[in-house]
Structure 1
Amino acid sequence: MPLPRTHQQAIARLQQMACLDLNGPLLIEPVLHELHRIIDFDTGGYFYPGADGGLDAYIEPSIARGCMHTYFDPQLMATEQQVIRRSAHDFAAAVRGDHGTQVMEELLKVPMAQFMRSDFYNLVLRPAELLDCLSLVLRTPQGQGVGALKLYRRPGAARFAPEDVAMLGRLEPWLARTLQLGEMDTEDSVLHDSAVLITTPGGQLLWTSPQADQLMALAFGPRWYRRTELPPALHTLLQRLQSAQRLIHGGPAPAVPQLELHNASGWFLLRATQMTAATGQGHAISLHITQRAPRVARLLPALRTLGLPQRQHELAYWLVRGLPEDQIAARMGISANTATYHRRQIYTRLGVQNRQELQDFFFVPQ
């Protein structure tokens, strides 16, 4: 039985994403968007090795995202080990032992009824309104772990069916290639947002804004939930600032200490500068945080809203990325005349005259 047209289009988009000039966790949002069109689930999550060697996580905007900090609570991590066979926390073990798409029962050490009485379920999953799960550990062709994809359904929803398991398994090669971390070009990015927060030299938070709070949550994930305490990496940054201040009297002013972070939400830069406290007593530290997003990550959602046919969608992507038209035709396996025809169709539809206007359409605020 042929797949519905919406499924075919979503699969084609996932296959296209696997061949883009950017890959890694930054593409998880468009990946999950297309998966929603193929498999019915309420919330998607992605767990992957962070730059600091620990586990990083992305959860779609939902009640579950607001509850995610509990998943990283040390006590609850211990209770999870009592009921889950291999959790995302132990990613290395999951890479060694978990193969193919797994349903909830395959992830559990205990029967489902016992699991639903556990502290882990009642303190983590129940508040997040999550129950059933499809889990897939993604690997490179060489067997290196890329990340663990989790699709959740809420309590009361139908359980994932064998066809859901089969479909996610079918998509595994393209998902792994898309989300595999590649080289990052921070020059090929756009400024998305910036904000400031104020702390004491010892790391106590004095002032923040909703905008800064949101950026810090994106940069540090659940580690930013206890907002009176800075993540360890920021304590290190403040210590570097204090050391730099002590060197000022002995020579030229040192560079402003900074911290770079890369995760599924973008590229973050934090700079620490010393300032006089508003009360006039003691000192305070200004932490300036900026978020940059790759042009590709910004381009894909913008292209998605246009509803272009698949061929035009793909050709528009490469036109915006600056690929010569003959190379686009070769990459897409079409003739130069066909590429020219589709380009003209795109220009007419968007009301642009040339490639520069096409790029401005997507990247210059209207």
Structure 2
Amino acid sequence: MFIPALLDALHGLVPSARNLFDWTDAEGRLLDYYVEGPIDTEVGRRYFEHFHNGREAACMPAFAMLRDAPAGVRSADDLDREDFFASELYNEIWRPQGFHTRIEGVVRSRTGKLLGSLVLYRGPGEPRFTSHEERTLSALLPWIAKALEPNSASRDEVRSALHVPGPEPTETLLLDLKGRLWLASPGASRLIMLAEGGISPEALTRPVGDRIDRLFGRMISQARERADGPSGTSRPWPSLSIFSAYGRFDAESMLLWAPSGESGSRPPLLQITLRRLEPREVAVQRVLRSLPVTPGQAAVCAALYAGESQGDIARTMGVATSTVVDHVRKLYRALDVSGLPELRDLLDRRLTGATR
């Protein structure tokens, strides 16, 4: 969950249209990637078939060159050239996705091991990245590297965390009872890949039917049994939760039947809705970034919402209790609330509204 939350938070520090992170091995080979916004699988497949460590080298360093790149920022100036804008890579891969210019952070551990690449994109007509914005990103890279190092959080801890719906809309799939996909909402493919474990060259080339069978095979089998069984049953429709590095994914199903009285018998179709959920702490930080409060007030607000006392907050922050009291007073004034109950209610409403 760290990378999706990081890419979202970066918009408040360095404005961009969309952000991307590539996980690599130490030799610069791409393992997985996460990109904000819609995914055009055809463009993705075209990139990996023709450009990745291939034709892209005609206009920019090949991806594999990351293995020799030092930690730091690759400037937007490197690609802001007429020959790049005239290249096949730009016109066949970048432009269809709304990309025009970028800055890239090469992320390495304290020992120099390559961890990945962080890319911030802006679209046509948007301002160029400035040297100040490049320095801002550069200052963040050591902290990003530290956060990417393995931690002690167990899978059980991740599963037991309280989750709330993420900012993406619920996606819908329409299948026949053999599991064949008929129709899908625009973002369904992206959520399926994230639920399965991430976006990668392999995931982009894997048939969508294989992914559906792997994730929803049992649900489809249960739907077939339901369709063949007696009508009028009050049993709940099959549902499931899937956990991956990108959060919890809740899937719910329902059989859709042809209207009664229609001539001819049509088999039912299976509707599956899929929604991504994220830990509530991540969602709270997103809400706080949208409020008119300072970083210090936001930290105090998050702690109050989590149930900490003002004395505990002062000890955690290493400041005097009077400093926390002052933050709380200014926080209540900025948000026009009279106390903690109203503050909790405001955040709860924003958490719900942020998903709509």
Give the TM-score normalised by the residue count of structure 2: 0.68
Q: What whole-Å deviation, never above 9, does each CA across 1:111-168 have from its counterpart, x for those lacking one? A: 9565444322221123344333211132444556554221234457776555544332
Q: What whole-Å deviation, never above 9, does each CA across 1:43-99 have from its counterpart, x for those lacking one? A: 23212449xx9523223x5xxx57x54541246642342224333xx6xx7366453
| Cα distance, 1:363 vs structure 2 | 0.9
The code of the aligned residue for 1:35 comes to V
Partner SS state of residue 197, structure 1: strand
Partner SS state of residue 314, structure 1: helix
- CA change 1:306–1:180 in 2 (3 A) is farther
Contact in 1 for aligned 2:102/2:120 (Cα 8 Å): yes
Of 326, 345, 348 in structure 2, the residue corresponding to residue 360 of structure 1 is: 345
Write the distance in 1 (CA, Å) between the matches of 2:47 and 2:332. Answer: 57
Write the distance in 1 (CA, Å) between the matches of 2:139 and 2:294. Answer: 23
- CA change 1:71–1:326 in 2 (3 A) is farther
Name the structure 2 match of 1:5.
none
Write the distance in 2 (CA, Å) between the matches of 1:35 and 1:259. Answer: 34
Of 304, 319, 322 in structure 1, the residue corresponding to residue 307 of structure 2 is: 322
The code of the aligned residue for 1:101 comes to V
Of 173, 176, 184 in structure 2, the residue corresponding to residue 200 of structure 1 is: 176
The code of the aligned residue for 1:311 comes to G
Partner SS state of residue 62, structure 2: coil
Write the distance in 1 (CA, Å) between the matches of 2:256 and 2:98. Answer: 46
Write the distance in 1 (CA, Å) between the matches of 2:339 and 2:307. Answer: 12
Q: Does 1:151 align with 2:125?
A: no
Give structure 2 stretches of 5+ with no counterpart.
25-29, 229-234, 259-263
1:74-223 alignment, distance < 5 Å: 74=46, 77-80=49-52, 81-84=54-57, 85-87=61-63, 94=66, 97=69, 99-103=71-75, 115-141=84-110, 147-154=116-123, 160=129, 162-177=131-146, 183=153, 184=158, 187-191=161-165, 194=170, 196-208=172-184, 212-214=185-187, 217-220=190-193
Name the structure 2 match of 1:269.
250
Give the TM-score normalised by the residue count of structure 1: 0.67
Write the distance in 1 (CA, Å) between the matches of 2:8 and 2:193. Answer: 17
Of 241, 254, 260 in structure 1, the residue corresponding to residue 242 of structure 2 is: 260
| CA RMSD after TM alignment | 4.3
Name the structure 2 match of 1:27.
6
Q: Does 1:45 align with 2:24?
A: no
Name the structure 2 match of 1:306.
291
Give structure 1 stretches of 5+ with no counterpart.
1-21, 37-41
Of 265, 282, 285 in structure 2, the residue corresponding to residue 297 of structure 1 is: 282
| Cα distance, 1:173 vs structure 2 | 1.9
Partner SS state of residue 33, structure 1: coil
